[in-house]
């Protein structure tokens, strides 16, 4: 089939956390083909990325034939090459991610199969899910058996807030649960080493994003010093080229590419190839959303998916209809064609 139209839109969000996300949160990419089949993708980069798709990448895509995963990979390579002067990392690749995912959705719908079947043999059933967020009690009530909480270090008093939260999470989820901490780049090397000691009794599975993604060597140097805690990260890294640097520097114990930011499923598969070569486990950022979940169940990603349930009684945007929900602490994609979700047109 031939691509006839490509359009990106920034949805009307009502509940996006005020921050860079206000204007640069997720976009929707819609790709139409001459068969009448339409594919939808989910990318990052907000209003800027919408411009990248609508003013540049889209016109390069119209007229291309897409009938296989190899055709999608070729389109990815062409768009990546054409956007090198302004792309390579960040918004250019977040836009490309939305296009890539729309092409996988389109191909799945054209062939009447779920994306995970296009990717390959399904290797996992329902995937153990961990709940990320600040409402541990509610996540336990929802049936989650693993949990990641956010922690921000601003002052020395925050050693104690980390201990308090870890202690609470451990008591809620029990001695065997996986408990993780996302520091969102607010720790540093000294803080991380001190935290490893103070939190030792809570048996934390990983510390996430302890330094910035520009300090790959610094993160690599921490790995042996905080064992058995894993140094995790990668949501702010892009494409196979970015993760090649992660591999070369040995920066991370566990890789977390965001499939809607890092270049889509096509990049995800290439990142997995690199990870396999160095024996790094891969657990996609927000992997409980369909864009990562289809990759997880049909690849050698870890058997673990991140879910962000939000907070009890707090409203949230529902952009995609038919998204799988975690049940008994597990989540799995449907076998509907493509990614198996429909766009909530009321938000467009
Ligand atoms: Mg994170």
Q: What is the CATH number of the domain that holds 274?
A: 3.20.20.120
292-315 pLDDT per residue, tens = 999 999 999 999 999 999 999 999
Query: 222-228, long-range: CB within 8 Å, 24+ apart, which pairs?
Result: 222/189, 222/192, 222/193, 223/250, 223/252, 223/253, 225/193, 225/196, 226/192, 226/193, 226/196
Residues flanking ion ligand 1, Cβ below 5 Å: 182
Of 93, 112, 131, the position where a domain reaches its end is 112
Identify whether residues 154 and 91 lie together within a single domain: no
Span from the CA of 62 to the centroid of ligand 1 (angstroms):
35
Span from the CA of 234 to the centroid of ligand 1 (angstroms):
8
Average pLDDT of 254-281? Answer: 98
Identify whether residues 105 and 161 lie together within a single domain: no
Give the span between the Cα atoms of 121 and 53, in whole angstroms: 32
Host domain of residue 212: 119-347
What pLDDT does 161 receive? 98
What pLDDT does 335 receive? 97
Identify whether residues 135 and 79 lie together within a single domain: no
What pLDDT does 139 receive? 98
Using DSSP bridges, classify how beta strands 38-43 and 127-132 pair: parallel, antiparallel or unpaired.
unpaired
Of 70, 92, 112, the position where a domain reaches its end is 112
Identify whether residues 139 and 183 lie together within a single domain: yes
What pLDDT does 111 receive? 98
Q: Output the average pLDDT for the chain.
A: 98
Identify whether residues 107 and 218 lie together within a single domain: no
Indicate which CATH number applies to the domain containing 98: 3.30.390.10
Span from the CA of 112 to the centroid of ligand 1 (angstroms):
34
Counted domains in the chain: 2
Taking each helix axis from N to C end, the angle separating 239-249 and 264-278, rounded to the nearest 10 degrees, works out to 20
Average pLDDT of 228-236? Answer: 98
Identify whether residues 106 and 164 lie together within a single domain: no
Span from the CA of 3 to the centroid of ligand 1 (angstroms):
35
> Is 96:43 a contact under the CB 8 Å cutoff?
yes
Identify whether residues 28 and 61 lie together within a single domain: yes
E strand residue ranges, 177-256: 179-182, 206-208, 230-233, 254-255
> Residue 121 CB: number of other CB atoms within 10 A?
9
Burial 209-248 (b: 16+ CB within 10 A, else e): bbbebebbebbbbbeeebeebbbbbbbbbbbbbbbeebbe
178-196 pLDDT per residue, tens = 999 999 999 999 999 999 9
Identify whether residues 141 and 108 lie together within a single domain: no
pLDDT band for position 238 (cuts 50, 70, 90): very high
Residue 231, SS3 per DSSP = strand
Of 112, 138, 171, the position where a domain reaches its end is 112
Residue 65, SS3 per DSSP = strand
> Is 66:1 a contact under the CB 8 Å cutoff?
yes
Identify whether residues 271 and 134 lie together within a single domain: yes
Active site residue 285: yes
**How much is the CA Rg of the chain, to the nearest whole Å?**
20
Burial 77-105 (b: 16+ CB within 10 A, else e): eebbeebeeebeebbbbbbbbbbbbbbbb
Q: Report the first-to-last Cα separation within the chain, whole angstroms.
A: 26
What pLDDT does 259 receive? 99
% of the chain with per-residue pLDDT over 70? 100
Identify whether residues 106 and 147 lie together within a single domain: no
Identify whether residues 278 and 186 lie together within a single domain: yes
117-145 pLDDT per residue, tens = 999 999 999 999 999 999 999 999 999 99
What pLDDT does 8 receive? 99
22-75 pLDDT per residue, tens = 999 999 999 999 999 999 999 999 999 999 999 999 999 999 999 999 999 999
Catalytic residue among 147, 285, 294, 330: 285
> Residue 141 CB: number of other CB atoms within 10 A?
11
What pLDDT does 257 receive? 99
Identify whether residues 218 and 314 lie together within a single domain: yes
What pLDDT does 79 receive? 98
Give the span between the Cα atoms of 25 and 44, in whole angstroms: 6
What's the pTM value of the predicted model, to 2 decimals? 0.98
């Amino acid at each position: 089939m031939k691509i006839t139209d490509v359009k990106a839109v920034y949805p009307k969000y009502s509940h996006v956390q005020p921050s860079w996300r206000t204007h640069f949160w997720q976009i929707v990419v819609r790709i139409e083909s001459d068969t009448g089949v339409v594919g939808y993708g989910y990318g990052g980069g907000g209003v800027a990325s919408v411009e990248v798709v609508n003013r540049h990448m889209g016109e390069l895509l119209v007229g291309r034939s897409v009938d296989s995963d190899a055709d999608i990979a070729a389109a990815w390579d062409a768009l990546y090459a054409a956007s090198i002067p302004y792309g390579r990392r960040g918004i250019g690749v977040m836009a490309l991610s939305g296009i890539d995912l729309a092409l996988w959705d389109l191909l799945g719908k054209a062939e009447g199969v779920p994306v995970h079947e296009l990717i390959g043999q399904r290797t996992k059933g329902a995937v153990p899910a961990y709940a990320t967020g600040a409402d541990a009690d509610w996540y336990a009530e929802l049936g989650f058996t693993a949990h990641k909480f956010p922690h921000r270090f601003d002052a020395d008093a925050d050693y104690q807030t980390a201990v308090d939260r870890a202690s609470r999470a451990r008591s809620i989820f029990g001695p065997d649960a996986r408990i993780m901490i996302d520091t969102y780049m607010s720790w540093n090397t000294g803080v991380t080493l001190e935290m490893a000691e103070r939190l030792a009794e809570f048996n934390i599975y990983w510390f996430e994003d302890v330094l910035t993604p520009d300090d790959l060597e610094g993160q690599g140097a921490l790995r042996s010093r905080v064992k058995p805690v894993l140094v995790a990260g990668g949501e702010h890294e892009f494409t196979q080229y970015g993760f090649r640097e992660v591999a070369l520097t040995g920066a991370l114990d566990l890789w977390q590419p965001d499939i809607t930011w890092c270049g889509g499923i096509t990049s995800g598969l290439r990142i997995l190839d690199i990870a396999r070569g160095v024996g790094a486990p891969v657990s996609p950022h927000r992997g409980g959303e369909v864009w990562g979940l289809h990759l997880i169940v049909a690849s050698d990603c870890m058997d673990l998916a991140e879910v962000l349930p939000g907070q009890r009684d707090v409203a949230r945007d529902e952009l995609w209809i038919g998204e799988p929900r975690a049940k008994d602490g597990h989540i799995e994609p449907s076998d509907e064609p493509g990614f198996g979700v429909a766009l909530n047109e009321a938000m467009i």
